[in-house]
Amino acid sequence: MFTLKKLLTASAVSASLVIGLSAVVQAQSLGIPINESQLQDFDLIAQPDGSGYPQGSGTAMQGKAIFERRCVACHGMTGEGTSANTRLVGGDMQSEERPIRTVGSYWPHASTLFDYVQRAMPADAPKSLTSDEVYQVIAYVLNLNGIIEDSLILNKETLMQVEMPNKDGFIDSSQAL
Amino acid sequence: MSKQELEKVAANGLINRRHLLGLGLAGMGTVASTSLLGADAGLNLEIPGWSKAPGANASGYGSRSRFTDDMQRMAGNPNPLYPGGGSSRSPLHQLHGSITPNSLHFERHHAGIPDIDPAQHKLVIHGLVRQPLVFSYEDLLRYPMVSKIYFLECSGNSGSLFGPNPADGSAQSLHGLVSGAEWTGIPLSTLLDEAGVYPEARWINAVGADAASMGRSIPLNRAMDDVMLALFQNGEPVRPGQGYPMRLFVPGCEGNISVKWLTQIKLTREPTHFRDETSKYTDTRLDRKSQQFTFPMGTKSVITAPSGQMKLERQGIYQVTGIAWSGRGSIRRVEVSADGGRTWADAMIDSHQSEKALARFRIPWQWSGGDAVLQSRATDSQGNVQPTRTSLVTEKGNISTYHFHGIQSWAVNTAGDVANVYA
């Protein structure tokens, strides 16, 4: 960025010089090259195809303790929630009444659970869980929803294979005008 | 001109919009009727006190008149179980024109407003690109920029109108998650081109630097279109609540994808399916299938005055006014009804409306003390017409409450009370 002093000089010279300068800037590339390896601690994106998961693993049995220590204040003892927004279990997309939509009933991909808990939870101390703890606590949330066994060791590979009940429930409307 | 000569253009008191153009009704309000009464002999004007003493000095940073302090956003109370989560709504009923002052622009945060030092902030572009790059704030300020006026609307704005019963609310509480501003920034395509996007890349994944690390996936074709990296809002650096030092700005689309505090753009083949594009900001239809990535905001308008919870104190002429917008083009026409949609009259809008920006509309209306239901209906440059609430809710159901853009009805009763109704 120009300092004020430089700006004053530039405007004192002539308007055409300023125009000439901006044309030069246009052709400039100011991004600084970086390697993907330098972004390992920065990039938290975890996708359904298995990309972006860290090493680590855990079971629902291990996750129960973390959940009870770090999550229940807002999500309830068994994930029943303290508000509509914080309910983590139950619901049925085919129910007669208005369906209750939760991780269990609504979410199409298990990867989203890893991605979201790692980036945003617990809401009072986001990004304070280790990778193992994230695997453990999401294993517990999936187990509370009856989606995985409590002994399943959740890791990069097994998480990719978890099938969510509503996996076919979504339509990509991104190209709709 | 007398009241009798005003040209009625639709039932229940709507008057031709050309009477707004200084044809004897310049003052509007109730002036037209009271001016017929002649001068009030008791009203002797004197020089006021502030004309007799020097006023305040110029200041480094301006503030508004203390007499307008009641103009406030409506923000929820802090919730310890949702730290930093919530929204604040623009006082639509008190605003005029089509630009929202930055201090009153609506906000929606999922984990509070971070206090970012621009010297420490980084924007990274990586993934399926020839050369991953990191940009500093200072360097970004040297890029060629564009300035555009756009609306921004939260996907959940007006969501309560999906409910079975009309809420007792104001234009602010019901519809205040929309605002308009001039945004200045760098076309995102400039930065993506610098990194060199590989042909197999189909999506950008944008992530903010807030505590929620808000993430959204956006198709590359849209990202290369009119999307910008916004650095300035109405001429000043984007405020912290709007993403300081930088945010994505995706014109016409649900506000959440204009990721604030932008720090990462990763190019990928597939979208990430972030929580806020699966669990939230998706639209479950009546057949229980859910639409994902429903970005453009619908063709919409709302009368901001007279509006819910106001009271008309006297019979006479009022200026019905409001805002209209469309995520798919510019506003071409706004009609207003005073009889619940049976008859309509064209409201005045400026002829050159910008794409994806708020349009201000106005029409004079004579309230004769009877029941009335005021509605407005927008048409955009693509020919999209704002639907009635009933047809929207019949089509979409109300499992999801995003993207409400149906017609708002404000009922005026004989006492002059204005209320939200379903009509």
Q: Do B143 and A115 touch (CB under 8 A)?
A: no
Mean pLDDT of A47-71: 97
B-chain residues within 8 Å CB-CB of A165? Answer: none
Closest-CA distance of chain A to residue B241, Å: 18
Decide: B161 and B168 in contact? Cβ < 8 Å: no
> CB–CB of B274/B217 below 8 Å?
yes
* Min Cα separation B81/chain A (Å): 6
Q: Report the side by side order of strands in the sheet with B409-412.
A: B345-346, B331-337, B372-380, B409-412, B418-421
Among B132, B205, B212, the residue with its CB nearest the CB of A36 is B132
Percent with pLDDT over 90 in chain B: 91
Please give the average per-residue pLDDT across B141-158, as a whole number: 98
pLDDT at B95 over 80: yes
Identify the helix (H) or strand (E) that includes residue B20: none
Cα–Cα dist B108/B73, whole Å: 12
Decide: B30 and B314 in contact? Cβ < 8 Å: yes
Q: Cα–chain-centroid distance for residue B192?
A: 29
> In DSSP terms, which residues pair with B376 in a beta bridge?
B336
Structure ipTM: 0.92
B314-353 per-position pLDDT tens digit: 999 999 999 999 999 999 999 999 999 999 999 999 888 9
Interval B279-308 mean pLDDT: 98
Which residues on chain A are in Cβ contact (under 8 Å) with B207? 44-45, 119
Provide the 10 A C-beta neighbour count for residue A4.
Answer: 7
Superfamily of domain A40-161: Cytochrome c-like domain (1.10.760.10)
The two beta strands, B290-292 and A170-172, are: parallel
pLDDT at A15 over 50: no
Of the candidate ranges A58-62, B40-44, B361-365, the one whose mean pLDDT is the lowest: B40-44
> What pLDDT shows up at residue B6?
78
Q: Is the pLDDT of residue A8 over 80?
A: no
Mean pLDDT to the nearest integer, B145-164: 98
Spatial separation of the C-alpha atoms in residues B353 and B281, rounded to whole Å: 29
Q: In which residue are the tokens 């004309």 written?
A: B51
Is the pLDDT confidence value at B24 over 80? no
- Domains (ranges, CATH) in chain B? 122-158+178-291 (3.90.420.10)
Closest CA to B74 of B357, B302, B313, B309: B309
pLDDT of residue B37: 55
Domain ranges in chain A are 40-161
Token digits of residue B218: 């956006």
**Mutation to test the A interface, candidates B290, B299, B326, B328, most A Cβ within 10 Å:** B290
Q: Summarize the confidence of residues A62-88 as an average pLDDT.
A: 97
Return the pLDDT at B332: 97
Which residue of B126, B290, B398 is in closest CB contact with A36? B126
CB-nearest partner of B275 from A31, A44, A112: A112
pLDDT, tens digit (0-9, with 9 covering 90-100), for A105-144: 999 999 999 999 999 999 999 999 999 999 999 999 999 9
Q: What is the mean pLDDT of residues A38-55?
A: 97
pLDDT > 90 in chain A, percent: 83
Q: Return d(Cα A105, Cα A96) in angstroms, integer.
A: 14
Pairing of strands B409-412, B418-421: antiparallel
Who has greater pLDDT, B146 or A20?
A: B146
Q: Provide mean pLDDT across the span B357-378.
A: 98
C-beta atoms of A174 and B195 within 8 A: no
What's chain A's Rg over C-alpha atoms?
A: 24
Calculate the average pLDDT of chain B: 94
Find tokens 């530039």 and name the residue. A10
Yes or no, beta carbons of B279 and A30 under 8 Å apart: no
Residue of B nearest to A38 (CA): B132
pLDDT tier, B18 (very low <50, low <70, confident <90, very high otherwise): confident
The widest CA-to-CA distance across chain A, in whole angstroms, is 75
For residue A79, count other CB atoms closer than 10 A to its CB. 21
Q: How far apart are CA B296 and CA B226, in angstroms?
A: 13
Local confidence band at A16 (pLDDT 50, 70, 90 cut-offs):
very low
Is A106–B273 a contact, with Cβ atoms under 8 angstroms apart? no
- Would you call the peptide bond into A33 cis, given omega within 30 degrees of 0 as the criterion? no
**Which residues in A lie closer than 8 A to residue B124 (C-beta atoms)?**
34, 39, 42
Distance from CA of A43 to the nearest CA of B (A): 8
Q: Label residue A1 by pLDDT band (50, 70, 90).
A: very low
Q: What's the pLDDT at B40? A: 72
pLDDT value at residue B55: 97
For residue B210, is pLDDT > 60? yes
8 Å CB contact between B214 and B208: yes
Distance, C-alpha B45 to centroid of its chain: 41
Residues in Cβ contact with B364 at an 8 Å cutoff, skipping those fewer than 6 apart? B6, B14, B15, B16, B17, B19, B20, B25, B28, B317, B318, B319, B320
Give the integer Cα–Cα distance in Å for B393 and B396. Answer: 5
pLDDT digits (tens, 9 = 90+) for B34-71: 445 566 777 889 999 999 999 999 999 999 999 999 99
pLDDT at B148 over 50: yes
Please enumerate in sequence order all residues whose Cβ is within 8 A of that of B163, keeping only pairs 6 or more positions apart, or say none: B398, B401
CA nearest to B294 within chain A: A173
Cβ neighbours for B358, distance < 8 A, ≥ 6 positions apart: B98, B99, B151, B178, B180, B323, B324, B325
Q: How confident is the model at residue B5 (pLDDT cuts 50, 70, 90)?
A: low
Residues of B within 8 A of A40 (CB-CB) are none
Q: Distance from A29 to chain B by nearest Cα, in Å?
A: 7
Q: Which of A88, A173, A177 to mutate to test the interface with B (most CBs of B within 10 A)?
A: A173
Supply the DSSP symbol for B35.
G
Residues of B in contact with A169 (CB under 8 A): 288-290
Residue A81 — pLDDT band, cuts 50, 70, 90?
very high
**Are A30 and B135 contacting, i.e. CB atoms less than 8 angstroms apart?**
yes
Is residue B287 pLDDT above 80, yes or no? yes
Decide if A42 and B290 are in contact by the 8 Å CB cutoff. no
pLDDT at A6 over 70: no
Average pLDDT over every residue of B245-262: 98
3-state SS, residue B85: coil
Chain A residues touching B132 at Cβ < 8 A: 33-36, 39
